Structure 1
Amino acid sequence: MMRKGSKFWALLAFAALLTLAGCGGSGGNGGNGGNAGSGNASPSASPSGGSSEAPSSGDGKAPAASVKLGIMWWGADDRHEATLKALDLYSKQHPGTTFAPDYMAWDGYWQKLPALAASKTVPDILQMDAAYIQDYVAKGVLEDLSDLDLGGIVDPAVIDNLKIDGKLYGIPLSQNAQGIAFNKPALEAAGISLPQKNWTWDDYFAFAREARQKLPKGKYGIGDASSAWDWYNWYQTGNGGKPLMGDNGKTFTLDKDLFVKYQQTFADLRKEQAVPPPDKSLSFVENDPSADPMASGVVMTRGATTGSVAALYTLMPDQVDVVGIPTGPAGGGWAQSTIFLSVSANSQHKEEAKAFLKWFITDPDAGQTLKMTRGIPINPDIFKQLEPTMEPKDLIGKKIYDMSVEKALPFYSIAQGFTEWVDTYKSTMEGVMFGQTSIEDAYDKLNKLGQQIAAKNA
């Protein structure tokens, strides 16, 4: 079990003494003031985004300590709504604990978090993704959570796989998997062969060309994934290559033959008008009714995970089906825990934050409230509780996992120091899309930068 001993009670006593002496909370808003997510601004916040207050009880007794925990996450509206309800539920079950929530879409989250980390104003609790967790551990942003007892809740093998240098920095929330959503009725109406379980990359590109022949102009079978580093990494590893970033970022492998073949295939598809033109591709916004590639009716497929596909299904009820990422001889895609709750290393309320994390994945009422908004619940008891009442949008998420797990490869996250490389990959390949950079020059630039970062890490 987690430690709630003398340190915790000492903190509570200290907070009460401060109040009796007429002392206020610490200053700073921890980046939460005026957030667009909740308007729940803290009148007295700690540097971590939380606050400790001790209002007078009015009966002459020592007042109970009050803690406000800063918490931030990304996601779609259904996740936001469910999480806010869960926070209210926790506050009702644990009087004296309230929250300062901050929530946004994926892009906004990862644009905001680096600034908070640099200024040491990350809130007490933050949602973390497997793609970035190693980088934030290396920067000293996250607290070690190894003392939390998750026995009987999370498989020990899962915990071992998630440890970084022998320590746990995020509590897994779900079993997740990467797949591809597709507009089944539209494909059937056009007479296009539907994606099948364990389809190959050759099948995927053939599907794009068949769709080009059978769909009206301005409609496409697949999107242009040439500027997405993770898609190329799935291609390279699925075809037997090493992951781009290995050994915690100490090695870097960009297979030139596979890279050129993959990028040339997309270049050919652009010429054949089998993928959207570059300006259209870069204007898509997932889960925006008018700008989502699938919901807008422009593209018949797009990437989706177990945890994210429900938002798309909500936009397109009874139209969405799913399949796994294309496979190569070595497999394809991934299926594992990738989304976590972490605690800020600078939090002034670490024990309270840890208690909340464990509650988040164990409380039955929390499970009923959160449902599948972060994927298949990591706690098997919670999943069994939810399964009989799951809606179609939730069951489609489970199907992604079932379609992916057989051929799944490990999840390869962005290694320490490689955020710059990922950004450079995107901008460089966008230059290729617009004809401003050759594929050969792109390879040379990306390989050189990757080798430099790996050498620095080593």
Structure 2
Amino acid sequence: MRKKGLVARMVSLVLVVGMIAGCSNDSGSNAQTGASDNSGDTVKLKMWGGVPPEAGPQAVIDVWNKEHPETQIEYVRYVNDDEGNLKLDTAIMTGQDVDLFVNYTISHTAKRVASGAAADLSSFTDYNIDEKMGPDAEGWKIDGKYYGVPTTKSTYFVALNKEALDAANLPVPKDWTWDEMREYAKKLKKDSGYGFIQNTEPFVDSMDSVLSQEGYTKADGTSNLDHPMVRKWLETLNAMMAEDKTTPPLGEQLTSKMPVEQMFLSGEVPMLNIGAWLLRSSNNFTDYPRDFTIAFAPVPRLSEDKEGYVMRGGLGDYISINAKSKHQEAAWEFLKWYADGGMAPMAEGGRFPASKDADQDKAMESMLGDKKDTYDLESLMYVMFDYQTPTYVRTVPQEVMDLRAQEYEKYFLGVQDLDTTISAMVSRHNDYLKTAK
């Protein structure tokens, strides 16, 4: 109920912001350069992002501030969850100091664009985003325009305890299915422990890898949430939770706020489905000491057939300039510097720069630091650069994310059967589609 309440508040917030933006459109569209940008005074900017400052952002800001005394930047951290995104949107709406902000999904970006919060970057002609970031940047356009710059190459993977694999005589997978991973989990499970665990952020990625290609709706415009691979995903995960007991029940994971990264890095669980942000913890031996090598495998696919398979990834960390910022020119100068290599310290937390002009060797050095020998480098390079499969960026509206989560959680909790769950997801999705027209 709490999540539903937050979503309702988000929708209301967007409507209010949209009304405000509509009433003040003239002043907002002309706020391209604030007076203090040309006054000779120090310009002070605030950048909001979801990464803890100690995991790279503060190091980036410190370098910029030292080299650019005329423009000083303060980093403000918001947690990238429902409450954190509401906090950011409220700050923008109420005119708090937000000059730049990082978007992590297209659904959040689209709402901010619709509310007039993100500046249209087409007026800046000295930086070619398509040329710098490559064809994957196209997926971040909204109505054919950029309202931000995608700055990172996003990589998702299954992290593996290499020593545990060796002890079980299991190779590091280079291409596998969920059925094969299920067997790995059985062989790696020890006593009452788990063989596989996952962060809740990429929990539904396998379902979306199918629907992003097959369509969230069918040819007749009705819901496609009853796609056979959606059923396959539900059945497989439920079997791992209830029958195999190789992965935690979702209810237990949510209510206990299970520290999945800590459980993997402590050696308690040998496989973890996560994104490249794992490295900000796996490089931190003070808080997360470990005595094993981390190997990497692609996220498994649901179908035996690799044809048409896509994996979540592409470009991410889409940084926008507040359309109401008085210092858009200064923010733009920082954003260009950041994207073209200033963000290198972010690689320590797994955020690899996307720009072709960024120093990739420097970023890789930052990413691994003095912990290079604690990773299986061959598999790391494979999942980051060599695994040849198309990628997708999740574009499903947040309302659809929420309604389907509310239904599949009932299934994983054992209070609703599979057929009822799928039927309810489809029915609710169809209702949403009618209202969204």
Identify the TM-score tier after normalising by the shorter chain: 0.7 to 0.9
Partner of 1:146: 122
Partner of 2:102: 127
Does the 8 A contact of 2:32 with 2:326 survive in 1?
Answer: no
Indicate yes or no: 2:275 matched with 1:305. yes
Instruction: Identify the range of structure 1 (349-358 vs 265-274) with the bigger mean alpha-carbon deviation.
Output: 265-274
Does the 8 A contact of 2:32 with 2:329 survive in 1?
Answer: yes
Structure 2 residue matching 1:451: 3-state secondary structure: helix
Percent same amino acid at aligned positions?
Answer: 19
TM-score (norm 2): 0.76
Higher RCO (Cα < 8 Å, 6 or more apart): 2
Q: Give the deviation of 1:343 after TM superposition.
A: 1.0
Indicate yes or no: 2:391 matched with 1:379. no
Q: 1:193 to 1:258 in 2, by over 3 A?
A: same
Indicate yes or no: 2:57 matched with 1:83. yes
2:384 corresponds to which of 401, 406, 422: 401
- Greater C-alpha Rg: 1
Instruction: Identify the range of structure 1 (391-400 vs 64-73) with the bigger mean alpha-carbon deviation.
Output: 391-400
Indicate yes or no: 2:158 matched with 1:170. no
Show CA shifts across 1:311-345 (max 9, x none). 33533475211111113332131331122211112
| Structure 1: gaps spanning 5 or more residues | 1-5, 17-63
Structure 2 residue matching 1:380: 3-state secondary structure: coil
Q: How many residues align?
A: 387
Does the 8 A contact of 1:124 with 1:349 survive in 2?
Answer: yes
Q: 1:93 to 1:133 in 2, by over 3 A?
A: same
Q: Distance in 1 between matches of 2:165 and 2:74?
A: 45
Indicate yes or no: 2:411 matched with 1:432. yes
Q: Distance in 1 between matches of 2:97 and 2:203?
A: 28
Q: 1:449 to 1:317 in 2, by over 3 A?
A: farther
- 1:58-457 matches, within 5 Å, as 64-76=40-52, 78-79=54-55, 82-107=56-81, 109-117=84-92, 119=94, 121=96, 123-131=98-106, 132-148=108-124, 149-151=126-128, 154-155=132-133, 157-189=135-167, 191=168, 193-212=170-189, 215-223=190-198, 228-236=203-211, 242-244=214-216, 252-272=223-243, 273-282=245-254, 292-314=262-284, 315=288, 316=290, 318-327=292-301, 328=303, 329=305, 330-362=308-340, 366-373=342-349, 375-386=351-362, 389-390=365-366, 391=368, 392=372, 398-402=381-385, 404=387, 406-414=388-396, 418-457=397-436
Q: Which amino acid aligns with 2:384?
A: Y
Show CA shifts across 1:87-115 (max 9, x none). 23222322232233211443363352343
Q: Distance in 2 between matches of 1:307 and 1:227?
A: 12
Q: Distance in 1 between matches of 2:31 and 2:201?
A: 52
Q: Give the deviation of 1:195 after TM superposition.
A: 4.2
More helix by share: 2
Partner of 1:35: none
Q: Distance in 1 between matches of 2:201 and 2:48?
A: 31
Q: Distance in 1 between matches of 2:121 and 2:105?
A: 16
Q: Give the deviation of 1:291 after TM superposition.
A: 6.5
Q: Distance in 1 between matches of 2:346 and 2:154?
A: 15
Does the 8 A contact of 1:198 with 1:407 survive in 2?
Answer: no
Q: 1:146 to 1:226 in 2, by over 3 A?
A: closer
| Structure 2: gaps spanning 5 or more residues | 1-29
Does the 8 A contact of 1:181 with 1:322 survive in 2?
Answer: yes
Q: Distance in 1 between matches of 2:291 and 2:121?
A: 39
Q: Give the deviation of 1:447 after TM superposition.
A: 1.6
Q: Which amino acid aligns with 1:325?
A: V
